[in-house]
Structure 1
């Protein structure tokens, strides 16, 4: 039942209280440095028809997380009202998703990244037909993954690699040619864990 798509299940997941998460959850021996965090918003946009989730592969020339699989989004700019506004603006810039086509139904608790961001995941439903149009300077590819993969906690596992001289553990949820990992995988696992049966 974990892979069954319904908007009601998604809404129910957002009603379950949960604390913040971070890239340091699996690395308690390496506490986060005391730095000022930059606010950001990302959009987890599920299509109304079947729950497929829109993701991007970031361009290889970007300063932060080049080449990684990510949810559309970015830092909160001065003209953004909040993280939701930033997530919707960035989704329009990155993949051509009109904010008017997105029904925002809630948000997950903020996630702190190892790169100094505190990211608020905004959860939305895409209404009507939509074909992503990647912005070449930011997005190498836009694609979707099935709700059944995203929603099943069994899709996620822990791996590790060397980073700045230390071993770091992180969540991954590979699917076909796409290696979903790091903050994006951790955020989506938090959602998967809260989905009712």
Structure 2
């Protein structure tokens, strides 16, 4: 089992404050918390399911998080504030390990993933935005079992959508799109390996391609404002 110290050391190699550079992004910024915990000796990640009461992405599996408020100090503040609102996770109970570079969501908003350990005993109390909460082994996001993908064009940029099916407590959840991408990157960094399924390039190249897509989108939107 990977120790907390080892997880932190590996994530720190990718730690950045890049997300706070983009607060003026025309399509907005947001942050999500990638909550890690240990369950039955395995490293798990906590995920939520959006309820039917939210305006967008109803029923999607996602990380707790949301849009940046003007009062938020930084992306970590955003992620912790939203997590407390959505699942009653006290900010002081989160051991923040790292922030990775912001990633464009499908609506173009730039989202900064904030990774942290939460208590293994944490029990979520969802608000009306959250229909369900579950955990799954983080390493599943590097394995072929339950995985599928499809090729798409996003904002004119070729991209691959990854899907991960997981069954727990008699329910089946499918994590895909942005959330799956973030989970794949975090898992690859922590376990220091590429996924078992095919990627065109190494995970480092994959991460770099995500950064390029973000930069191109940001430049295009800024140009349109001139």
Identify the TM-score tier after normalising by the shorter chain.
Answer: 0.7 to 0.9
Q: State how far apart, in whole Å, the 2-side matches of 1:159 and 1:119 are.
A: 22
Report whether the alignment pairs 1:190 with 2:181.
Answer: no
* Equivalent residue in structure 1 for 2:134, among 139, 143, 146: 143
Between stretches 40-49 and 76-85, larger displacement belongs to 40-49
- Whether the 8 Å CA contact 2:15–2:98 is kept in 1: the answer is no
State the Cα RMSD in Å: 2.7
1:124-174, Cα deviation, whole Å (9 max, x unpaired) = 011352101111x20001111123324x354654225799xxx97411122
Partner of 1:11: 8
Displacement, 1:116? 2.4
Structure with the larger RCO, 1 or 2 (CA within 8 Å, 6+ apart): 1
Partner of 2:96: 104
Report whether the alignment pairs 1:46 with 2:36.
Answer: yes
TM-score by length of 1: 0.77
Partner of 1:31: none
Partner of 2:79: 87
- Taking the TM superposition and a 5 Å limit, the aligned residue runs for 1:59-98 are 59-98=51-90
Ranges in structure 2 where 5+ consecutive residues have no aligned partner: 17-24, 194-226
TM-score by length of 2: 0.68
- Which of the pair is proportionally richer in helix? 2
Give the number of the structure whose alpha-carbon radius of gyration is greater: 2
Q: Decide whether aligned partners of structure 1 residues 55 and 154 sit closer, same or farther in structure 2, where only a CA change above 3 A counts.
A: same
Q: Aligned pair count? A: 175
1:12-70, Cα deviation, whole Å (9 max, x unpaired) = 43234499xxxxxxxxxxxxxxx823110100011156422111000123122111000
